Amino acid sequence: MMWNDPQTLILIFELIVLLIEIVVIYLLVTHFHKLDAHTDALDRHIKRLDSHVAELDQYAERIEASEETRTEGGHNGGDGNY
C-alpha cells in the first residue's frame, strides 16, 4: 500500500468519514436521550405547577365567596362580622 496511490487515499478518506459519521450518530443519540429525560422532568414540574394553580384557584374562590358573604351580611342589616 502506497500513500501516493489514489485508491489508498480514497480508502483512508472513506474511513475517516465513516468514523466521523459514527461519532455524530453517537452524539445525536446521547443528546436526544438527555433531551427525553429533561422532557420527562419538565412534564413533572408542569404537573406540579398545574396542581398549585388549581389550589390557588380554589383559595381565590373561597376568598371571593367569603367576601360576598360579608357584603351580603352588610346589606341585610348585619354587621358583616362573622
The answer as to whether 50 is a domain residue is yes
The answer as to whether 21 is a domain residue is no
Least Cα distance to 1 among 16, 12, 15 occurs for: 12
pLDDT, tens only, 21-77: 999 999 998 888 888 888 888 899 999 999 999 999 999 899 888 888 887 765 555
What CA–CA distance (Å, rounded) separates 67 from 61? Answer: 10
The answer as to whether 10 is a domain residue is no
The answer as to whether 49 is a domain residue is yes
The answer as to whether 6 is a domain residue is no
The answer as to whether 18 is a domain residue is no
The answer as to whether 57 is a domain residue is yes
Output the nine-digit C-alpha cell for 25.
Answer: 450518530
**Domain of residue 41, residue span:** 36-68
Taken as a whole, the chain contains a residue count of 82
Q: What is the pTM of this model?
A: 0.47
b/e map 60-72, b = 16+ CB within 10 Å: eeeeeeeeeeeee
What CA–CA distance (Å, rounded) separates 65 from 63? Answer: 5
Per the structure, how many domains does the chain have? 1
The answer as to whether 43 is a domain residue is yes
